[in-house]
Amino acid sequence: MKNLPLLFTGIFFCLAFSFSGLILSSLIQYGHLEPVTEFVNHPDSGEQIPGAFVEIGGHWVEGVNQPDEQTFPIPSVGLAQQGKQIYIEMGCLYCHSQQVRRKGFGADFERGWGERQTVPRDYILQERVLLGTSRTGPDLMSIGMRQPSAEWHNLHLFNPQITSPGSIMPPFRFLYRTQKIGDTPSPDALKIPDEFPDDQPPPGYEIVPTDRGKALVAYMLSLKLNYELPESRFSQ
């Protein structure tokens, strides 16, 4: 019993360190951050200048959000939001990250994974941030810009060898179904190259994405890093 105060002191410091590391540090990084506007209004002329943070008269001016104006980052909504849940359920984050390192730290820029580094403001609208745990596959923070075609993503998920020969990513064929062609082929039907005869559907049939497949592809297409932030610009 004589060590009871020491025990309680140790427990207190463990909880305090955990609280500081998980809660306080997050609040310090995220707490004051808000989405930024697409334009900066010139203080004299009122002209709208593209950019969230522009130099005017030798001073850097940050845009002020206006009602009904597009702001960044843009949150995932609708089908893309549903696709994010599927991305989580299938464990994609265990092989893919969603964070671009700054120049000089790794080869993210050389690989074309983003035009600028990601910063805490990029994630403020995400209920769950999917930074990832490893990079077995490429970073996906801007995959919607690198591969803007839904057809490419569908073929890649159905059989990664079609779009990325040598890829170690497993196929996700359960996100697709084979159906009989109706009066006209479905606009969503996969156009599988002739070089992959084993993947072709039987005559009179077509392969189309399921609702889960469509949602996941919508989420992939929504992942873009095509905007600047005051603390992270393309020129940096």
Segments making up each domain of the chain, as ranges: 49-222
Provide the pLDDT for residue 103: 87
Residue 192 near residue 17, CB atoms below 8 Å: no
Q: What is the overall mean pLDDT for the chain? A: 88
| Mean pLDDT within 114-132 | 92
pLDDT for the residue numbered 146: 95
Task: State yes or no: pLDDT of 236 exceeds 70.
Answer: no
Tell me how far apart the alpha carbons of residues 42 and 55 are, in angstroms, rounded to a whole number. 10
- What is residue 52's predicted lDDT score, i.e. its pLDDT? 62
pLDDT at 207 over 80: yes
pLDDT at 161: 97
Report residue 225 as tokens: 């890093």
Q: What is the mean pLDDT of residues 193-205?
A: 96
Is residue 209 within 8 A of residue 154, CB to CB? The reply is yes
- pLDDT 10s digits, 23-67: 777 677 667 788 887 767 776 777 776 666 667 777 766 666 666
Please give the structure tokens belonging to residue 89.
């359920």
More confident residue, 188 or 26: 188
Is pLDDT above 90 for 20? Answer: no
More confident residue, 167 or 15: 167
Query: What's the pLDDT at 106?
Result: 87
**pLDDT for res 219:** 97
- Among the CATH numbers 1.10.645.10, 3.20.20.70, 3.40.50.2300, 1.10.760.10, which is that of 49-222? 1.10.760.10
- For 71-112, the pLDDT digits (tens) are 889 888 899 999 999 999 999 999 999 999 988 888 998 999
Higher pLDDT, 16 or 190: 190
pTM for the full predicted model: 0.82
Please give the pLDDT value at position 229.
Answer: 86
